[in-house]
Structure 1
C-alpha cells in the first residue's frame, strides 16, 4: 500500500492522475514525462510593413503537424517540443524558419523580390506581376542571348504563346508581320508595336542584344489605353538602360555562323526539257516551240558532252535566225547560281553603369551576312547604335536622353530587267540548252 501511495504522489507532482495506477507497466511513467515536454506553440506572422499575413502555412519541420494563420495572422500548434524548428511560408514571400524556445514567437516574412518585384510593362507604365490582372505574356532578354539569329523578329518566333511572326521572304531585311491570337478579321490584323513607347513598323531594325523585356498585351483591356489601334493586340518592347549605383560594366559578344540551302530543286535534263516545252506549246497554240534541228543538236551533246556546243542554225527558231550561231548544252542553273554556304557574323559591345544620381547605357552592334547567290555581290550589313542617359537633378526633377541609330545596307544583283522580267529567272527557265562555258 505504501508503494501505491508513493506512486500516486509522484504522478500528481508531474501533473498526472492516480487513474494511471491501473497500468502496471513502468512505461506509464515514461509516457507521462514525454507528454509533459510538449506544449502549444503560438505566435503571429506579419510582413515587412507590419500587416498580418492571412493564410500563411505554419509547419513543424520534419513532422506532419501544421496549421495556417487566421485573419489576424495568429496561429497555434499543439504538441510541439522545445527546440523544434517552425517553418513559415506563403506565396510571394521567402520561407522562414524559427527555433521555438517555449514562448510565443513573432515571424516577419520578407517579399520574394524574384517573383513579386518582377516588373511587367503595361500601358503607359509598369506593374508588379502580383498585381497583374490582364492577359499578358512576357519574355526576358535571356531568350535572345547566345543565339545565331538574323534579327529580333526571328528570335521571338516560338517564344511567346499566341504571338505569330511571319516574313515576306528570306531576305534579312524582309518585312515582318506580327499577329496576336491568330486571324482576327478578314483583313488579317497586325499588332501595335511600341519600342520604349514609340510606335515602330519594323522590329527587325532593332539590335536583339539591346532588348530588356518584351510584353504582349492580348486582351481587350489594352484598348482602354491605346484605343482602336490596339484591337489586334499590343507588343511592348523595352530596351536596356543603366541603373543608379551600378558599377561600370563592359560586355562584348560575337557570333559566327554559316547558312546553307535546305533544298534546291532539281531540273530536267536539257533534252527532256525541250520536248516538254514543245508538248506544252503544241497543246496550247498548235505550234512547235523549239526546232527539230535544236533538239537533235542537244541529243548529240547529251550523248557526247565533249563535242562543241555552238553550231550554225539552218532552220531558225524562236531565238536564233537562219544562219546564226545557236547553242546546245545541258546546264543545271540552280546549282550554278547558288553557293553551298553563306557566312554570317555578329558583334555586339555595350557599356553600362551609374552613380548615385545618374545612369547610362551605350551599345554598338554590327551584323554582316553574305547571300547565297554565287555571282555578283550579295551582302547585307547592319549597324546599330544606342545611348540613353538619366540624371536625377533634384528630388522632384529627373532628366533623360535616349537615342538610337540604325543603318542597313543591302548590296545584291539587280533582279529587274528593263522589261520587268527577272533575268536570273529567265536564264534557268529558258536557257538550259546554253552551256556554262559560253
Structure 2
C-alpha cells in the first residue's frame, strides 16, 4: 500500500518546503529591508514601537509626562538601544532607566540646588516576598519620581514628609501611601486580577490580552508554583472556568483526567499540551514550580491553529527563563501530611458479634459465645491499611544573565507517600534554559527538561478486573473486625476454614497491600532548540526542533501466599518496557505592521512535521521456587516463560496560517486556516482542512460609552470553527493479521494466524464544529472582571 506519509518521503518533501520558505524569506527580507531604509524613525511613538518589536524590552511611561508624538532625530543605522534613546531624548526634559528587560521613561531629575527636602527610601516586594524590579514611584500631584533597582530598592527626595507617594507596576494594584513623616517606606504589592496590556501565549505566538478575541484563560506562575501538588494538571484545579480536573484514582502518581468544556467525542477527550512549543499529551513531568504562565485555549478561534489535535482544547505552558542581572539563587521547600477522611464507619468487635448472633439465631447457626468473644481481637481495618502520608517538595534554581544571554538551571525533588500502605511516588526533575542574542536580529535558545519517577502501586480496581489484583480498600470492607492481622509468628492471617462461619471470607487487606511488589518507572527527556531571525522590523522567521522521549518500565511480582497458597497461585512475574520518541519540526514566518497608525496587521504562515515512534517489549514467567525479592527475575521462573514485542509509528504533516487585523484596537477580525495530513487515516482521506474565524468589538472605546464611568472594559467577541481529532490508533485503516489462533489438523491442534481486525481505507477524519459568543466585562477600573461565554460544540 502506498502512502504519502512514509517518513523518508515526508522529510524529502519537508526539506523542499523549508528551502522554498527560506528562499521566499530571503527575498522578502531584502525587499522589506530596502524599503525600511527609506523610513527613518521620526517620533517617540515610532521609536518605542521599534524597540519593543525587537522582543527584548518593554517600555513604560506615564501618559501625562510623555508626548509620544514628539519629533526626534536618530541614526537609522544605530542598533544599540541605549544610544538610540540617548539620541532621541537629547534636548527634552526626559530621561530613561533600563532595569533588566524594562525601560522606564521618566522626567529628568532636578538639579542638586533644586532638590531640597528629605530623602525617602524603601524596598518593594510582592505578597510572596519576591523583590519587584522597575516599580514606578511618583510623588502625588507632581512628575517627580524614580524606579526600583535590581534589589527592589528605591530612593526619592521629597519636598515635604507630609506628601503622598504612588507606587505602580504592571500586573499589580497601584498603592497610594501617605509619607506621614517617615523616611523609610517598604511596600508589599498585590497582583491585579486582570492586566490589560499583559502579553500571553497563543498558538505559535503571543498577543496582548486585549487583542485576543477568543476564549482563553490565563494562569500565572504565582497561582500554581507554590501549591502542594504533584503535577501541572492537579495545579489547574479550580483555576479556570470550563476546565474540569479529576484524579483517576487518587493514588500517588496515577495522574489526572483533564476536560475542557466537557466531553466532545467518543475517542480521546484529553487536551493537547504545548510545553515551550513542544506538543505532548502528558505534561506531568514538569513541576508546577517551573511554570511561568499557562494559557488554556478553549474555543475554535484560538485552538483551531492546532487542527487535528485540538478537539479536546489546547493548554500552552511557558516555563521560567533567566533574566538580565546578577546571578540569583532560589530555594523553596515544603512538607505536609495527608490523612484519609470521611471514611465509612465500620462495626467494632462488640457490634459485629451482636449483629452476627442476631442473624445466627434467626437461621439456626452456632453463636459466638462470651468465652469465644474474649479471645477475639478488635481490629479496625481502616487504621491498619491507612496511614498519615508525608508529602514534600524541594526546589533549587540558579538564574541570571547579561545583555545578550540569559540562563536558568533548576532541580526539583518531589516525594509523596500514599495513604494506603506500600504505595507512594517520587520524582527527580532537572531543567536548563539558555537563550542568547547572537546579534540584534538573530536569537537562539534551548530548553531541556529531564525527569525520572518511580511509582509504588497497590491494587485499587474493585475485584481486580482491571488486572491489578483487586482493591485493598475493597478487602478491608469485607474483613470482619474479629480477624487478627498476624498470627503468633508474625505471619499474615488469611483465612480460618474451621471458623469461617464466624470470621467470614476475603483476603487479609494488610498482607494484600504489603505483599504488592509493583513498580512503575518513567524516564523522560522533553526539550527543544530554536532559532529566531528578525529579518526586518516587520518580518520574523522562527524555526524550532522539539523532542519528547519517554521510557516507561513496569515490573510486577504476584507473590503466592495465604491459606493453602490460594492467593496468586501460581506466582507470576510480569515486566514491560515501552519507549516512545516524538520529534517535532516547525517553521513560522510572521509579518507584523501598523499602517497609518490605526491599521494593525499580523500575518503568520507556518509548517509543522511530527514523527512518533513507539517500541514495546513485554515478558512474563511463572512458578518461582523461591519468592524472595532478590530472586525475582524472569530467568528464575520455571514455567510459562513468554515474550512479546511490538512497534508502531505515526506521522503528521501540517500547513497553517493566521491573519489578524484590528482598527484602532477597537474592531478586530481574525481568520485561521490549517491543513493536516496524518498517517492514521487511509490513503483515500489522509488530509483534512480546519478553518476558523473570529470578530471582536471593544465597545468601551466607543464615544457613546465615554460617560459610563463604572465600565472600564467591555469587549464583545464571536467565533466559529472546525477542530479535529486524530487520536484513533495508529493503524485503524488497516486489516490486521494476529497470531494465537489454533486449528485442528488431523488429530493435532496447530497454532496459526487469524484476521483480528477488518480495515477501512475510507476511514474519515472526526471533526467538531464549535461556536462561541463571549463578553469580557471590567468594572470599576477592572477591580471586578467577568468573562461570559455561550458555546456550542457540534
TM-score by length of 1: 0.60
SS of the residue aligned with 1:335? helix
Tell me if the contact between 2:230 and 2:287 (Cα under 8 Å) persists in the aligned partners: no
- 8 Å contact from structure 2 (residues 225, 290) kept in 1: no
Contact 1:139 1:213 in 2 (8 A): yes
Instruction: Give the aligned partner of residue 198 of structure 1.
Output: 278
Question: 1:280-309: per-residue Cα shift (whole Å, max 9, x none)?
Answer: xx9xxxxx8xx934xx2366444xx3xx34
Unaligned 5+ runs, structure 2: 1-42, 49-62, 70-136, 144-167, 172-194, 488-794
**CA shift in 2, pair 1:300/1:292, >3 Å:** farther
CA drift of 1:154 comes to 2.1
What SS class does the counterpart of residue 249 from structure 2 fall into? coil
Pairwise CA RMSD: 3.9
Looking at structure 2, the residues matched to 277 and 399 of structure 1 have their Cα atoms a distance apart, in angstroms, of 78
Q: Please tell me whether the aligned partners of residues 291 and 317 of structure 2 are also in contact (alpha carbons under 8 angstroms).
A: yes
Instruction: Please give the alpha-carbon distance, in whole angstroms, between the structure 1 residues aligned to 2:268 and 2:427.
Output: 30
One of 97, 113, 129 as aligned partner of 2:209: 129
**More displaced, 208-217 or 184-193?**
184-193
String of CA shifts for 1:254-313, please: whole Å, max 9, x gaps. 11111111222222343356469889xx9xxxxx8xx934xx2366444xx3xx34xxxx
Q: Where does residue 449 of structure 2 map in the other structure?
A: 404
| Inter-partner Cα distance in structure 2 for 1:422 and 1:151 | 25
2:344: which partner in 1? 265
Give matches, 1:22-37, under 5 Å: none
Helix, strand or coil at the partner of 1:434: coil
Residue of structure 2 equivalent to 1:297: 368
Distance 1:426 1:220 in 2: 47
Change (3 A) 1:427 1:167: closer
Aligned to 1:230: 310
- Contact kept? 2:381, 2:481, Cα under 8 Å: yes
Cα deviation digits, residues 286-344 of structure 1 (max 9, x gap): xx8xx934xx2366444xx3xx34xxxxxxxxxxxxxxxxxxx54221222212x2221
Q: Which runs of 5+ in 1 are unaligned?
A: 1-45, 52-57, 60-71, 73-93, 100-110, 283-287, 310-328
Moved more, 411-420 or 249-258: 411-420
Query: C-alpha displacement at 1:225, in angstroms?
Result: 1.0
Q: CA contact under 8 A between 2:234 and 2:256: conserved in structure 1?
A: no
How many residue pairs match? The answer is 308
Q: Identify if the C-alpha distance between structure 1 residues 203 and 278 changes in structure 2 by more than 3 Å, giving closer, same or farther.
A: farther
Contact 2:459 / 2:469 at 8 angstroms: preserved in 1?
no
- Asked if structure 1 preserves the Cα contact closer than 8 Å seen for 2:225 and 2:291, the reply is no
Of Structure 1 and Structure 2, the greater helix share is in 1
Structure 2 residue 371 is the aligned partner of structure 1 residue 331: no
Is 1:381 aligned with 2:426?
yes
Q: Secondary structure at the match of 1:297?
A: coil
Greater Rg over alpha carbons, structure:
1
Q: What residue number does 1:118 align with?
A: 198
* Cα distance in structure 2, aligned partners of 1:50 and 1:414: 65
- Partner of residue 294, structure 2: 214
Match of 1:393 in 2: 438
SS across alignment from 2:407: strand
Summarize deviations over 1:183-219 as a string: whole Å, max 9, x none. 4346683322211122222333320110000001122
Match for residue 433 of structure 1 among 469, 482, 506:
482
TM-score (norm 2): 0.35
SS of 2:284's equivalent? helix
**What secondary structure, in the 3-state scheme, does the structure 2 residue paired with 1:204 have?**
coil
The reply to whether residue 181 of structure 1 matches residue 254 of structure 2 is no
2:416 corresponding residue in structure 1: 369
Q: Residues 158 and 427 (structure 1 numbering): CA distance in 2 closer, same or farther, change over 3 Å?
A: closer
TM-aligned CA deviation for residue 345 of structure 1: 1.4
Q: Residue 769 of structure 2 aligns with which residue?
A: none
Cα separation, partners in 2 of 1:430 and 1:389, compared to 1, 3 Å: same
Mapped to 2, the partners of 1:152 and 1:298 lie a distance apart of 57
Give the Å deviation of 1:241: 1.0
| Range with bigger deviation, 247-256 or 176-185 | 176-185
C-alpha spacing 1:224/1:292, structure 2 compared with 1 (3 Å): closer
Instruction: For residue 435 of structure 1, give the secondary structure of its aligned residue in structure 2.
Output: coil
- Name the residue aligned to 2:327: 248
Contact 1:270/1:331 (8 A) holds in 2: no
Give 1:238 shift.
0.6
Say which structure is richer in strand: 2
Q: Which residue of 1 aligns with 2:222?
A: 142
Q: SS state of the match for residue 169, structure 1?
A: coil
Assess, with a 3 A threshold, how the Cα gap between structure 1 residues 190 and 410 changes in structure 2: closer, same or farther. Answer: closer
